[in-house]
Amino acid sequence: MRNQPASVTLPAEPGPFPGGGSRGDVRSEQQYQQQKFSNQSSGPFYRREQCFQKGQNRGERGRGRGGWQGGRQNVSEEMPKYITVSTFAQARAAEISAMLKAVAQKSSNSLVFQTLPRHMRRRAMSHNIKRLPRRLQEMARKEAEKAVHQKKEQSKTKCRKARRRHINLVAEFNRRQRKNIWLETHIWHAKRFHMVKKWGYCLGDSPTEKSYRACYRAMTKHCLLQDLSYYCCLEVTGKENELLKQLARICSNDTGLTFEEASCLSGRFEGSLNLYRADHYPEGMLGPVTFIWKPRDGSENRQLWIWMHPALKQDILRELKAIFQCSEPEEIYMPEPVTTSMQEEEQIDVALSLGKKRKKEDKEGEKAVPVKKIIGDGTRDPFQSYSWISQATGIVISDRTMEILRYRLIGPLSHSVLTETLKAASLQTEMADSETELNNWWVENCKDSEKVSLHQRQTAIFELLEGLSSPSEMPPGTILGLTVGDPRVNLPKKKTKTMPDFEKYQDYDKVRQLYLEGVPVDCAHSFIWDQDICKNVTENKISEQDLNHMRAQLLVPGSHLDLGPCESKIPILLVQQPGKMAGEDRPGWGSGWDIYLPKGWGMAFWIPFIYRGVRVGGLQEALKHSEYQRIPHAPNDFPDCQAGMQFAKELETSLLENFKRRPPAKRANYVKLGTLSPFVCPWEQLTKNWEGRMKASGEFVPPSSPHPEHCAAEGHSLCDPTAEVVKEASSETGEVEETMEITSSEGVLKRGDVTGTQDFGERGETMTRSDFIVLRSEKLRMQLSAWCYPTAGKDRRIRLISRLGQKEMTEDVFLPILMSYPRALVWVNLSLLRKGNPELHAMICIPTEDDLLRLSKDKLFCGPQEPKHRDIFKEKVQKLKEEKKKKKDNMKALESDFPSVPDKETTEKHEDLILGLWSDTLPDVTSHCSRTLLGYVTRGDFSLAVGYGEAQGFVSLTGLVYMLRNQPADKKGLVLLRTPASFQYRFARLNIEV
């Protein structure tokens, strides 16, 4: 009984028999025995001297190492010869109780038969209790009676054959897409792609197979297919004058096209523009959209489709309802049940009931979406409105998202894939079956000679597409309406790669006329604008089961299946995508066609495209497509809109979590590298600092030099006096290293003339709401593009500069621009001069005169290096670590002692400290490093299109003009790039493509 548990508290009783078992207890018990023996007969056997050894008195008896209980001394010296059993048992009662409780209580979650040694276990023990030893059978019987270990109720759909029935599968699929909507091609993508949940959809991110270069080759030489059905479509219907009057408030002629563009207003071409909040240009950016006007058909009302990214939908819809005053819902969408037989209806009821049993914790319950035969059709909330009307003007806004499918074909042979896959619908004047409504709309239209003539002209133009060498030969944004037959009847026996056949069409005059004049206005008409026709086409689609049954009845297996008048007729819309239009290199790269379909026909068109040898891409391929075109990608490259800010916030959270997962020794120390914000671009801080530089200096001066003594000699007021280059010996190698030492004790770089975070008075009139904007004026971007090209040396582009703009870079020209846009960003493209791979959030810096001089002398000079910075947060992080360790040690103290609580203020003050990250208020980001910061990279990688590293990003307008003003004529547009985890700067050429 020596090692007693510390948690056992023995009861202490008053009186002559204390029950603790301590030193005092032994001494009191000895005194009691002596008193008892003295009262009895004083025979020779009961001598008082027997209780003590010679030379030991009563005072020394209790001063051992814990008495008989705690010491390891001789037993004859420590233990008394006589004890009272009742007193001893009472003292040990608490210990015996604790021991019995520990024995009876299980120390793990394992079952009884799992606690046996391995050589005693038998497989039958899990279901036959009598196989266990008798001493454990009672405990096992109690475990079996618990509800946790009872066998679960067998589901009625336990059979896999029953679970894989189509009606049960669709019921399960509709249940799984209540939170994240599935596209009609979701099942196909889920088997071949890495799926991600974004913007309320479940989308394919990238293929599971190695296809990075294969997708680029498809975009360059053949065809790449993408499902863009997750893009949102808002339909606006009303009088043309009312529509144009209000739509003019949310766009500007300064940025390019508007809704009033004549070629787009006729419905002949698709347009693209940037939307802003009403009457707030250039602030209040909503996002980029594309729009299509329905061709005029003689009616007073016009229809307009506005397509946008799902991240931008809510902001744009809210603004449209505000300018058109559409507040009341016109109708509530109620899904109509699909006409089925009595047997199928019973199966639907069984599937729904089984679904409720399987998902008992489902909170939606009765609000579950009814089962549909089409995956992706039952995803709309039946209790949510999808149409709004204005009582004043009669304008109606309808949400057509997921009602119109959208596929994109990218590549020079995309038109060949279209003409090979799709065939124009044949004329039909009689109904195939009077009982059904199959093709009844097509029969009525075929009775009109004008519409028949229009269909024939559309078919002739569609067949001429195969004579083109690339879709880029067509006018940008060309629209062609068409009605096609069921593409499933034209499936080849095996996969083939579609190639152009130029000998098939020898009429080069018509082909030349097509790409010179484009498609006529009347040929842009399509029946897909009519919602009733689209609904008819969706509901009367021939199922795959019926189609396969017809193929099985063919006399010659594998021969062409002719459905005759029973073949479905599908209205579609073809829209040409122009590809790369800005710049001089690779014109038309990435061009293709967008195809718009009614819902329910997604897989019917998807599989025939796959059988023509196209390669399928996901979100990553779409990102690379826009990167190689050097255009902004929504919402990543729109930092001035809400969707772009939300994207940057989510990206920062993701990168920070990945950074924290790695131990400090296996991750970069960004404080020593001089990287203030490696996971997010501080655009507001950048524009504020450059505005402060301009107002503090009053004139443009050369960029700050890395050597402070050089700055003092030249008298540069914008150099940072606190960023010094200090030579210190490395503790590990003993070598001398250059470090950037920050003398501010708080970690904020202080400047003599201007503070990086102060507000510089009132801003311009255009900067009243947002902290910064992105310059999207075509005229100003063209002028800046001309200034970025060298005007001397072998790289000069005199002819290009004269075509872009004739104004020279004088103060009279650029000062009004800077006064109008003091806090503006400019979208730029960067091309590395030599080796290097730009990365996300890389820093764009201004080279010094010494850097440009060394580059002109040494053509192999790759760039300077950033001196090592001192980590001013290292001591704080170590102090916080010690406090946490001290708190942990205090928690392990005895329960009787209250643990000392560390200072709460100190802990809260440093709880956000992370070793390697800047944990304080950001200082002046432009002068924190040895090279003046100009902007950041938002996308960068090695480009397969050009064979070297390319990047896109934003720079400060003020900083860009400042740099171009002070650079030599033969070095215009040269900048430095530095990745967040590197000291090495690399030279790059900056240009603005317009």
**Residues 670, 973 contacting (CB under 8 angstroms):** no
**Residues 473, 515 contacting (CB under 8 angstroms):** yes
Segments of 743-876 assigned E as strands: 773-774, 824-832, 843-845, 868-869
Give the pLDDT mean for 215-219.
93
**Distance separating alpha carbons of residues 1 and 92, to the nearest angstrom:** 9
pLDDT tens-place string over residues 350-384: 444 444 444 434 444 444 444 444 444 445 666 67
**Residues 935, 775 contacting (CB under 8 angstroms):** no
The answer, yes or no, to whether residue 671 has pLDDT greater than 70, is yes
Residue among 916, 918, 926, 929 at smallest CA distance from 955: 926
pLDDT tens-place string over residues 155-186: 555 688 888 888 888 888 888 888 888 999 99
CA separation, residue 360 to residues 171, 354, 357, 363 (Å)? 15, 10, 6, 8
Beta bridge partners of 198: 201
Question: Phi/psi at 947 (nearest 5 deg)?
Answer: 90, 15
- pLDDT averaged over every residue in the chain: 78
Instruction: Write down the pLDDT at residue 98.
Output: 86
**Token reading at 506:** 């020898």
Where is average pLDDT lowest: 30-44, 195-209, 875-889? Answer: 30-44
Which position has the token pair 């400060």? 956
Quickly state the pLDDT bin for 682 (edges 50, 70, 90).
Answer: very high
The answer, yes or no, to whether residue 520 has pLDDT greater than 80, is yes
Beta bridge partners of 598: 404
CATH 3.30.70.1400 domain span(s) along the chain: 230-328+384-401
pLDDT tens-place string over residues 226-268: 999 999 999 999 998 999 999 999 999 998 889 988 889 998 9
The one-letter code for the residue type at 508 is Y
The answer, yes or no, to whether residue 342 has pLDDT greater than 70, is no
Instruction: Write down the pLDDT at residue 467.
Output: 78
**Distance separating alpha carbons of residues 544 and 552, to the nearest angstrom:** 12
Check residues 855 and 148 and name the one with the higher pLDDT: 855
Check residues 761 and 21 and name the one with the higher pLDDT: 21
**Distance separating alpha carbons of residues 630 and 589, to the nearest angstrom:** 11
pLDDT tens-place string over residues 550-562: 888 888 887 888 8
CATH 2.40.30.110 domain span(s) along the chain: 642-696+771-777+823-870+919-991
**Residues 396, 321 contacting (CB under 8 angstroms):** no
Give CATH superfamily name and number for 642-696+771-777+823-870+919-991.
Answer: Aminomethyltransferase beta-barrel domains (2.40.30.110)
Segments of 676-820 assigned E as strands: 723-729, 736-742, 773-774
Specify the DSSP element, H or E, that contains 571: strand 569-577
Give the pLDDT mean for 853-858.
90
State the sign of the Cα–Cα–Cα–Cα dihedral 102, 108, 114, 115.
negative
Quickly state the pLDDT bin for 109 (edges 50, 70, 90).
Answer: confident
**Distance separating alpha carbons of residues 822 and 413, to the nearest angstrom:** 46
The answer, yes or no, to whether residue 33 has pLDDT greater than 70, is no
Instruction: Write down the pLDDT at residue 746.
Output: 36
Which position has the token pair 């009662």? 93
Please calculate the CA angle 537-539-541 and round it to the nearest 5 degrees.
65
**Token reading at 19:** 């029950």
Specify the DSSP element, H or E, that contains 93: helix 85-104
Instruction: Write down the pLDDT at residue 707.
Output: 41
**Distance separating alpha carbons of residues 846 and 686, to the nearest angstrom:** 14
Using CB atoms within 10 A of its CB, is residue 928 exposed (0-12), middle (13-18) or buried (19+)?
Answer: buried
* Architecture of domain 230-328+384-401 in this structure: 2-Layer Sandwich (3.30)
Proportion of the chain above pLDDT 90, given as a percent: 37
**Token reading at 392:** 């004043």
Give the pLDDT mean for 121-126.
84
**Token reading at 682:** 């501080």
pLDDT tens-place string over residues 691-742: 888 888 775 444 444 443 333 333 343 334 334 444 443 433 334 344 555 4
Please, which residues have CB within 8 angstroms of residue 694's CB and are 6 or more apart in sequence? 818, 822, 958, 962
**Distance separating alpha carbons of residues 480 and 525, to the nearest angstrom:** 7
Specify the DSSP element, H or E, that contains 182: strand 181-182
Give the pLDDT mean for 128-133.
89
What is the number of other CB atoms lying within 10 angstroms of the CB of residue 109? 6
**Residues 566, 542 contacting (CB under 8 angstroms):** yes
**Distance separating alpha carbons of residues 98 and 94, to the nearest angstrom:** 6
Quickly state the pLDDT bin for 128 (edges 50, 70, 90).
Answer: confident
Check residues 830 and 49 and name the one with the higher pLDDT: 830
**Residues 103, 115 contacting (CB under 8 angstroms):** no
The answer, yes or no, to whether residue 70 has pLDDT greater than 50, is no
Instruction: Write down the pLDDT at residue 151.
Output: 55
